[in-house]
Amino acid sequence: MSNVDLAKLIKDNVRSLKPYSIENIRSEVKLHANESPFPPSKELYDLFAASLKNFPLNRYPDPDSKNLKESIAKRLDTKTDHLVIGNGSDEIILLLLQVFCMEEDTIIIPDPTFAMYAIISQSLGIKTKNIPLDSNWDFKASLILESAEKNKSRLIFLSYPNNPTGNCFSETEVRKVIEQFEGIVVVDEAYYDFSKKSFISEIKNHNNLVVLRSFSKIGLAAMRVGFGIADPLIIQEVNKVRLPYNSNMLSQSFAEHLINNFQVVQRQIDSILNERSRLIDELEKINSITVFPTDSNFILFRTERSADELFTHLIYNGILVRNLSSHPKLHNCLRVTVGTTNENDRFISEVKAYAMGDE
Ligand SMILES: Cc1ncc(COP(=O)(O)O)c(C=O)c1O
């Protein structure tokens, strides 16, 4: 029997981490995680099922995700040596921090932004400097660049569009950061399919730019596939710290089918974009709600009354959204993912029912 003082063994930076809380409340309508509301189409399932028969499940997966990279390279008009596949784009965030940052380094992130940049950094003993976003959830490049210089930063993360605010930052300001920063700029385009705005074409001019993409928002969240696009030298170094079989065979194969049959997914994306406009229109009709502009598959909104109460009301009615109210800049804010027409109808009708109590 052992009774080792485990707490004493755990690194301070890990012990002080707050666990990343994912709302795991069972609910019929899940509008909290920015996933696609649509499962992959039958067409994609059939293709995948057919390929499943030939899977050598007793063998390790392709360590280089060669076929998937070839499919992505073709679609994005790039070369496979510019690509790295991750177990979700989360993994690439981790790998980039491992490659470029040492313990006690400071990275720069806007605030609010995607929580994992800070969480993964802290787990590695890397500090984060938050640059507060302005009232349009945007920033001035000079503020980011000054802070990066002062903190001798090697890495800046920009979520584009930004989660949880939903908007793309000013293109000019992002461009200034890429052009003027003497370190790595990671432009995280996890929501690219809903914004259609990208910096990929800048990679050939800027060897310090890394773009991240994800399959999680377009129907494959369960498969955990994301990828990075960058100068081959960066990819080469990332590959040194990447675990050899980080991407499994099923995920590689499903993602490959999805990329090669993108028209099927595009129909789902189009439907999400239509529903997004409808949701915005409906939410804007409610006086006590302020809707923030979005380029993503989710919408951030602020309620005049307590967002906690609205969140609870929605939960009681089987609808789960993301409650962001505890963030100082997101007081009384909730984030809703665009769902199917039915899901959105249910959400809107419950928000209206709740708001009627106010008016
Ligand atoms: C901005 C941003 N980047 C990355 C991710 C992680 O995506 P993945 O599922 O590919 O790890 C998310 C997930 O919500 C996100 O919002």
CA–CA dist 170, 299 (Å, integer): 18
% of the chain residues with pLDDT over 90:
86
**Average of per-residue pLDDT across 344-354:** 96
**Average of per-residue pLDDT across 72-98:** 98
Q: Is the pLDDT of residue 335 over 70?
A: yes
* Distance between Cα 10 and ligand 1 center (Å): 27
What is the CATH number assigned to the segment(s) 53-261?
Answer: 3.40.640.10
Q: How far apart are the first and last CA of the chain?
A: 64
* Distance between Cα 5 and ligand 1 center (Å): 35
Count how many Cα atoms sit within 13 Å of the Cα of residue 238 in the half-sphere of its side chain: 25
Q: Is the CB of 268 under 6 A from ligand 1?
A: no
Pairing type for strands 106-111 and 127-132 reads parallel
CA–CA dist 226, 221 (Å, integer): 10
Tell me the per-residue pLDDT of 305-334, one tens digit each, with 9 for 90 and over: 899 999 999 999 999 999 999 999 999 999
Question: Is 352 in contact with 279 (CB distance < 8 Å)?
Answer: no
Tell me the per-residue pLDDT of 194-208, one tens digit each, with 9 for 90 and over: 999 999 999 999 999
| pLDDT greater at residue 10 or residue 212 | 212
Residue 44 pLDDT class (50, 70, 90 cuts): confident
pLDDT for the residue 21? 67
Within 10 A of 286 (CB to CB), how many other CB atoms are there? 20
* Distance between Cα 90 and ligand 1 center (Å): 6
Cα–Cα distance list, 36 to 44, 109, 191 (Å)? 15, 26, 11
Maximum pairwise Cα distance, the chain: 64
Q: Is the pLDDT of residue 358 over 70?
A: no
Tell me the per-residue pLDDT of 92-123, one tens digit each, with 9 for 90 and over: 999 999 999 999 999 999 999 999 999 999 99
Pocket test for ligand 1, best of 34, 94, 163, 229 (most atoms within 8 A of CB): 163
**Average of per-residue pLDDT across 31-36:** 96
Architecture of the 6-40+264-356 domain: Alpha-Beta Complex (3.90)
Domain boundaries, the chain: 6-40+264-356, 53-261
pLDDT for the residue 262? 95
CA–CA dist 20, 191 (Å, integer): 21
Q: Is the pLDDT of residue 19 over 80?
A: no
Q: Is the pLDDT of residue 24 over 80?
A: no
Give the CA angle between residues 351, 353, 358 to the nearest 5°: 90
Question: If we measure between CA atoms, which residue out of 150, 218, 220, 153 comes closest to residue 186?
Answer: 153
Q: What is the CA radius of gyration of the chain?
A: 21
Q: Is the pLDDT of residue 189 over 60?
A: yes
Alpha carbon 121 to chain centroid, angstroms: 16
CB-neighbour burial class of residue 60 (10 A; exposed 0-12, middle 13-18, buried 19+) = exposed
Q: Is the CB of 90 under 6 A from ligand 1?
A: yes
Residue closest by Cα to atom 7 of ligand 1: 89
pLDDT for the residue 52? 84
Q: Is the pLDDT of residue 22 over 70?
A: no
pLDDT for the residue 49? 86
CA–CA dist 335, 163 (Å, integer): 10
pLDDT for the residue 45? 86
Helix (H) or strand (E) holding 344, with range, is helix 341-356
Q: Is the CB of 214 under 6 A from ligand 1?
A: yes
Give the CA angle between residues 40, 41, 42 to the nearest 5°: 125
Question: Would you call the peptide bond into 232 cis, given omega within 30 degrees of 0 as the criterion?
Answer: no
Please name the residue that has the structure tokens 């707490």: 7
Q: Is the pLDDT of residue 221 over 70?
A: yes
Helix (H) or strand (E) holding 155, with range, is strand 155-159
Residue 225 pLDDT class (50, 70, 90 cuts): very high
* SS3 per-residue string spanning 186-215: EEECCCHHHHCCCCHHHCCCCCCEEEEEEC
Question: Is 343 in contact with 272 (CB distance < 8 Å)?
Answer: no
Q: Is the pLDDT of residue 165 over 90?
A: yes
pLDDT for the residue 120? 96
Q: Is the pLDDT of residue 84 over 70?
A: yes
Tell me the per-residue pLDDT of 257-282, one tens digit each, with 9 for 90 and over: 999 999 989 999 999 999 999 999 99
* Distance between Cα 352 and ligand 1 center (Å): 30
Q: Is the CB of 226 under 6 A from ligand 1?
A: yes
* Distance between Cα 242 and ligand 1 center (Å): 18
Q: Which atom of ligand 1 is nearest to the CA of 93?
A: 4
In single-letter form, the type of residue at position 2 comes to S
Question: Is 247 in contact with 65 (CB distance < 8 Å)?
Answer: yes
Q: Is the pLDDT of residue 228 over 70?
A: yes
Residue closest by Cα to atom 12 of ligand 1: 190
Q: Is the pLDDT of residue 149 over 80?
A: yes
Tell me what the pLDDT averaged over the chain comes to: 95
Residue closest by Cα to atom 16 of ligand 1: 163
